[in-house]
A and B are shown apart, each in its own frame.
Chain A
Amino acid sequence: MISRAIFENNVGGTIFLGILAILAVMVPVLHLAVPEDSFFHVSTSTVVVFGKYLSFALLALSLDLIWGYCGILSLGHGAFFALGGYAMGMYLKLQTSGGAPPDFMVFLNWKDLPWYWWGFDHLSFALLMVLFIPGILAFVFGYFAFRSRVTGVYLSIITQLLTYALWLSFFRNDMGFGGNNGLTDFSTIAGYSVQAPETRAALFSTTAIALMAGYLIAKAVVESKLGKVLVAIRDAESRTRFIGYRVEAYKTFVFTLAAMMAGVAGALYVPQVGIINPGEFHPANSIEMVIWVGAGGRGTLTGAALGAVLINYFKTIFTTGFLAPYWLFALGGIFILVTVFLPKGIVGTLASVDWRRWIPAKRAPADEAQLKPEPAE
């Protein structure tokens, strides 16, 4: 039933999954099997950069789930991403040091691993933590915030305070997460060198597959009855509550789910980029994520992923050349243009065009368009 919901009447989603499947297979092949001087060869830097984009896409997807479908504008979503990244970074760090306290602890004269580092030398435990740490934080935070009916701008600001508090905390050396420098200098993951082309290709494919899985989960959620309630909450929270739905339970669920997806995105991001530092917690990062979703199209899932890739692609182009001083102008401009002129985003705008008008034979009844609920704030 769910598969029907996903593939029928969902051209965009099918194309999206198709492209990802092709990328997951073709990029490793073109990177590893095709000789370097060939036109079709995909360079290491391309694999790394696009792997990073795909992890950002997964992050944007999770943000779209709460913002686009439930109206929760989190300005602290980066915190969950960074926590997932730190969990992965801890595993990688212990791989490098062989289970002993990593280099930065040696500099601090710490003889033993702090208790919260125990277990991170096992990949399976680290992967569980990638899900659980952001999940538990989101559950506790969401439970209290939604139960108290903190909504709208107030919620946005306390999520921002959350990530700001974490940002300050992770800068402290005493926290045992490497302070200012964060976690870096990784050597192996599950025994394979993180620098090896094969590992990079595998990580890329894993990220693409994770993004596909994330999309399928998100799509399953939004197409289910649960998803309809979420949209109802987004459009008229009080009415939904009066009908008898436990709004806070729905919100907490979707907030926690999104945080876990963000954690996975962070965990995939770290081994590819090779570093995680407190900068990822900065509130500005979290706000930037929101505009990926906004530009691509909130409430579309595929749009969020597309927006993340597009804007980060622009960012790479802008910040590496002579255009670097103008990147903030461009980014600021995107924020304004998207909110003022393109509130539905790229995908949302394309989807709202009545394509059937261009196909004269199959004219749809005019009423149907009017029945569609208009996404509110």
Chain B
Amino acid sequence: MRETFFFLLMLCLSLAAGHALAQEADSFETGLQRLSANSFSETERAIEEIAASGHPQAYKILDAASSRRLFYSKLQNVVAWKKDSGAYVDARTGDATTSPPDDLKAVRLNNKLRGLVDAAMGGLSLLADDPGKRRDAAASVFKTRDVKNLQSVNAALAKEKNAEIAKMLTEAKAAIIVTTTGYPDAEVIDAIKSLEARGDQETLGLIRAVPDTASEAVKKAAASAEASVETKLALWETAQNLWYGLSLGSVLLLAAIGLAITFGVMGVINMAHGEMVMIGAYTTFVVQEFIRSSAPELFNYSLAIAVPLAFVVAGVVGVAIERGVIRFLYGRPLDTLLATWGISLILQQTVRTIFGPTNREVGAPDFMSGAFEIGQLSITWNRLWIFIFAALIFTGLLLALRYTSMGLQMRAVTQNRRMAGSMGIRTGRVDALTFGLGSGIAGLAGVALSQIDNVSPNLGQSYIIDSFLVVIFGGVGNLWGTLIGAMSLGIANKFLEPFAGAVLGKILLLVLIILFIQKRPRGLFALKGRAIEQ
């Protein structure tokens, strides 16, 4: 289908190129006249002539013809097309017709003609009014780089006002010149230069495709352009990996930061932390289900509604766990670890019983779907929002720990529990609130992760080990450790992946972390001082 289209496009453009610009007005006029003959063969020639004329109105006429909005009047020798509003426009001038003739008849097309019209429009779209259409046409010429298009590209280039499209046209022209033999060296070298400026994977292919028969000067220019494009590409690839790494790092940060807080303050690893993430994700699911069934117009706000709810739900569960189980295990961190593992099993099974073992569908609101590009960097909106979300949570937490009295108390308990207790801080209450806070943040992480991962009862399990990695790598001294731990693990992971593959990369990373712990048993940012030693 596509090939056929391009073939017809080429055909048309070559026809268009075949006619001298001087004849433009004539062929346009004769074309219009032919329409009133009301025969398919005449209409066919008419279409060819109108397309070939390159007349400013040609595109609109063909467009109207393809959607059966083109009319002719034999008596008055008028061709007109109808707007969506129903008003008629004179095809010759493009002006509105105040008094349309009575004998207007639609120009009929058969399948063959319809194909011809489509193809002709493709060629003319280099000259279309809509910049989007011109852009598409230029891109397709760049891809096909058929020498027959050269003339229409030149024509379009002469008229083009939009700098971006002009650049695309120049590149399309360059692509044609570079891959065709017989152009003067200077022109080819110019073409290579403009391709070098574009500098993506496709141009690399084009530059490499410079024919062997080319002169030494051209070959030299091609070689230097190739090298510079390669460097550029490597840089973009690094930037892309860096972004992937930061994106993964922000996910890790979200998953681990709550764990780091509870670990820092209470010295216990909460094995049920992953399940708090899962609870957050399921809260999002429930919110969306509710919105779908009762207020679909709110769907785009579903995440905004889910965020506070997930924080509260997970936080309440966290406080319940602390009050119900963990406070009986003070001073026994290893027992706490086992008890929270038991809790995680129960929570998983509870969710499995309520929601079933299969993945649940959590939709993305409009502002989180799709992607955009910066240079050759492709960034999906959901990853970007998660990155921003993680940054907001991190900053918020940092400020809360720094400037609130609760934060002050938490830091005091982290640094020296007994001393803090002696100063009148109710360490038990701090523990419970810390646990609630850590769990609530895990719930927030769940809202974010529901956008990029499967919402299933196993969601938490898949993040818990990564969260441990972050926490023990970063240390529990302060939140910056967690940030640096998460980001460096994310980036390391993404940079190891291309060399070693996803699984082997992960294994390497685990081994590196195990070795790192030998060097710094308390992580990057360890709390210093005697208080830490038992």
Does chain B have a CB within 8 A of A283? yes
A168 and B506 form a contact (CB under 8 A) = yes
Partner of B337, one of A144, A153, A238, A332: A153
Q: Please, which residue of chain B has its CB at the minimum distance from the CB of A337?
A: B342
Contact residues in A for B336 (Cβ distance below 8 Å): 339
Binds B, one of A90-98, A158-166, A202-210: A158-166
Asked whether A145 is an interface residue with its Cβ less than 8 Å from the other chain, the reply is yes
Contact: A332 with B503, CB < 8 Å?
no
**A122 CB, nearest partner CB in chain B, Å:** 30
The answer to whether residues A332 and B344 also contact, given A340-B325, A340-B339 and a CB cut-off of 8 A, is: yes
Look across to chain A and name the residue whose beta carbon is closest to the beta carbon of B345.
A332
How far is B339's CA from A246's CA once the two chains are assembled, in angstroms? 32
Chain B minimum-CB-distance residue to A75: B337
- Determine if A328 is an interface residue (Cβ-Cβ < 8 Å): yes
Asked if A164 and B325 make an inter-chain contact with CB atoms under 8 angstroms apart, the answer reads no
Complexed CA–CA distance, A148 and B331 (Å)? 23
Residues of A within 8 A of B337 (CB): 73, 153, 156
Cβ contact within 8 Å between A329 and B346: yes
Smallest CB–CB gap between B218 and chain A, Å?
46
A335 CA to B348 CA, complexed, in Å: 14
Q: Pick from A144, A157, A162: contact of B269, CB below 8 A.
A: A157
A70 at the interface (CB under 8 A from B): no
Q: How large is the interface on B (under 10, 10 to 19, 20 to 34, 35 or more residues)?
A: 35 or more
- Judged by a CB distance under 8 angstroms, whether A343 is at the interface is yes
- The 0/1 profile, CB within 8 Å of A marked 1, for residues 469-506 of chain B is 10010000000000000000000000000000001101
B332 touches A377 (CB 8 A): yes
Within 8 A of B (CB), among A138-161: 141, 144-145, 147-154, 156-158, 160-161
Asked whether any CB of chain B lies closer than 8 Å to the CB of A350, the reply is no
In the complex the two chains form, is B349's CB within 8 Å of A329's CB?
yes
A48-83 Cβ-contact flags toward B at 8 Å (1 or 0) = 000000000000000000000000010000000000
From B19-27, B149-157, B509-517, the one touching the partner chain is B509-517
Can you name 30 A-B residue pairings with CB atoms under 8 Å?
A: A73-B334, A144-B515, A148-B521, A152-B334, A153-B267, A153-B268, A154-B517, A156-B269, A157-B472, A160-B468, A161-B468, A161-B469, A162-B510, A165-B511, A169-B507, A172-B503, A236-B534, A287-B341, A325-B352, A332-B341, A332-B342, A332-B346, A335-B345, A336-B325, A336-B346, A338-B338, A339-B338, A340-B329, A377-B333, A377-B335
Interface residues of A, Cβ cutoff 8 Å to B: 73, 141, 144-145, 147-154, 156-158, 160-162, 164-165, 168-169, 171-172, 236-238, 283-284, 287, 290-291, 294, 325-326, 328-329, 331-336, 338-340, 343, 377
| Chain A to chain B: the 4 pairs with minimum beta-carbon distance, closest first | A335-B342, A332-B345, A332-B346, A328-B349
Query: Measuring CB to CB, which residues of chain B are less than 8 angstroms from any residue of chain A?
Result: 263, 267-269, 271, 325, 328-329, 331-339, 341-346, 348-350, 352-353, 461, 465, 468-469, 472, 503-504, 506-507, 510-511, 513-515, 517-519, 521-522, 533-534
